């Protein structure tokens, strides 16, 4: 099986639709200004990989540094007049940076016809500020670019007339369109195919880093250059560290191996966790924990319904975990509050939203509605037994309940 996501992206109609949805929410006479940002510096002239600001990306689909999106709503129209500011094509610079988007390419991706050059940005912003327009932006954006705009605004009387769109964008992002679900499905397929290759090659004596290399190789080969998060590969006692950061250990005969990984497609994340017996056969205790986690998963899945909340799914799942841990003798009958005692072994939340971010933006208390996508990951960790694990799958909430995407 080989799923190729090198060219996968959402159609520009998605971005047009999202801008229309935002336009219906902002007041007349507003300019929304969003920045793609810049790759953070790792050290000296070395940078971390670039991931565009997610609010910016959500409204235009552009993945190029230093790009600026301005959406203007004025009295004349219900919808935005949209402009995108990009770097010019510069063959000399592109010897180092690689291909920069041409105006035509930027237009095809975003569905925006008015593509301008960054050199026009300052003058255009001055013009907007000189008028009586309100400024809207994403206040969760920590980029230098937004900080600079903030300084400029502080010198004008426009500063008190700024609007933060991040809350509304969170509500939009929480419910996925069919195109977004398709992107997440693609990302999941890449992850599953990569896990399959690892499973076929797994054997005692292998190092954690070799398992990591197999997974990364398979995901990158399929076109997922940057994963949804740093792949977690942990064997034996290392499974007791949830975000185990140094996968160099040996995978021994009799160990469990925890994998938590996710490829990306079209900017969208997947998030799967698997637990493998390194020698291919689970021991008695490993099987007992496996059965209990699957039992928890069944509870979680049936608790994910329209109207449920993150808290209600957590509570239902913990009840199943507590009962199982009592049966295994890990919570003794003398402990009066099994749910409280369960916290010794059940360390993290059961689920989170999944989308452009792996732990996607959300209103935590908000009741679920169809179209939401979750990663569901019940996990139990037993220090006395020297291991623990989670099994994680991604689901779409439909009007009939949770449907597996993975």
List residues near Mn ion by CB under 5 A. Answer: 271, 375, 377
Q: Check: CB of residue 317 under 8 Å from CB of residue 300.
A: yes
Shortest gap between Cβ of 339 and Mn ion (angstroms)?
23
DSSP3 helix / strand / coil % (the chain, rounded to 5): 40, 20, 40
Q: How far is CA 113 from CA 30, 61, 177, in A?
A: 20, 14, 24
Instruction: List, in sequence order, every residue forming a beta bridge with 380; answer none if it has no partner.
Output: 389
Nearer to Mn ion, 22 or 375 (CB): 375
Cβ–Cβ < 8 Å for 36, 73: no
Cβ atoms of residues 36 and 56 within 8 Å: yes
Is the CB of 145 or the CB of 357 nearer to Mn ion?
357
Residue 132 to residue 343: CA distance in whole angstroms: 55
By C-beta, is 147 or 294 nearer to Mn ion?
A: 294
Give the shortest CB-353-to-Mn ion separation in angstroms. Answer: 10
Considering only CA atoms, which of 376, 368, 374 is closest in space to residue 355? Answer: 374
Distance, CA of 9 to CA of 17 (rounded, Å): 15
Rg (CA), the chain: 24
- The smaller minimum CB distance to Mn ion, of residues 37 and 379, is found at 379
Q: How far is the CB of 63 from Mn ion (least distance, A)?
A: 23
Beta strands in 314-372, from DSSP E residues, in sequence order: 351-353
Structure tokens at 1: 């099986």
State the nearest-atom distance from the C-beta of 58 to Mn ion, in Å: 21
* CB of 85 or CB of 244, closer to Mn ion: 244
CA separation, residue 63 to residues 55, 155, 315 (Å): 12, 31, 39
* Residue-level length of the chain: 406
Q: Closer to Mn ion at the Cβ: 71 or 391?
A: 391
Q: Which is nearer to Mn ion, 191 or 238 (CB)?
A: 191
Least distance to Mn ion from the beta carbon of 322, Å?
A: 22
CB of 160 to Mn ion, least distance (A): 40
Min CB(239)–Mn ion separation in Å: 15
């Amino acid at each position: 099986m080989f799923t190729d996501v090198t060219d996968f992206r959402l159609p520009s109609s998605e971005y047009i639709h999202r801008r229309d949805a935002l336009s219906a929410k902002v007041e007349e006479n507003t300019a929304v200004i969003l920045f793609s940002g810049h790759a953070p510096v790792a050290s000296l002239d070395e940078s971390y990989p670039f991931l565009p600001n997610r609010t910016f990306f959500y409204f235009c689909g552009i993945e190029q540094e230093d790009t600026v999106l301005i959406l203007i709503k004025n009295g004349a129209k219900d919808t935005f007049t949209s402009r995108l500011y990009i770097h010019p094509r510069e063959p000399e610079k592109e010897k180092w940076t690689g291909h920069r988007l041409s105006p035509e390419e930027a237009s095809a991706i975003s569905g925006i016809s008015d593509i301008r050059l960054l050199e026009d940005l300052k003058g255009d912003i001055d013009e907007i500020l000189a008028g009586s327009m309100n400024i809207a932006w994403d206040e969760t954006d920590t980029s230098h670019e937004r900080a600079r705009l903030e300084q400029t605004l502080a010198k004008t009387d426009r500063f008190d007339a700024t609007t933060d769109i991040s809350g509304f964008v969170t509500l939009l992002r929480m419910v996925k369109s069919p195109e977004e679900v398709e992107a997440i499905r693609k990302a999941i397929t890449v992850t599953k195919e990569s896990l399959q290759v690892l499973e076929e090659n797994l054997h005692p004596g292998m190092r954690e880093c070799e398992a990591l290399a197999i997974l990364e190789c398979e995901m990158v080969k399929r076109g997922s250059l940057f994963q949804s998060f740093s792949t977690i590969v942990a064997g034996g006692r290392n499974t007791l560290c949830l975000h185990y950061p140094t996968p160099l250990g040996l995978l021994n005969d009799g160990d469990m191996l925890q994998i938590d990984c996710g490829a990306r497609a079209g900017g969208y994340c997947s998030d799967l966790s698997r637990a493998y017996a390194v020698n291919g056969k689970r021991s008695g205790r490993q099987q007992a924990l496996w059965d209990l986690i699957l039992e928890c998963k069944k509870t979680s899945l049936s608790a994910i319904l329209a109207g449920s909340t993150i808290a209600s799914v957590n509570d239902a799942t913990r009840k199943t975990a507590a009962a199982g841990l009592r049966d295994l003798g890990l919570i003794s009958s003398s402990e009066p509050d099994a749910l409280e005692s369960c916290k010794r072994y059940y360390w993290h939340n059961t689920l989170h939203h999944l989308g452009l971010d792996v732990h996607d933006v959300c209103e935590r208390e908000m009741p679920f509605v169809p179209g939401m996508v979750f990663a569901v990951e019940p996990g139990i960790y037993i220090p006395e037994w020297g291991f623990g694990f989670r099994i994680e799958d991604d689901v779409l909430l439909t009007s009939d309940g949770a449907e597996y995407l993975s």
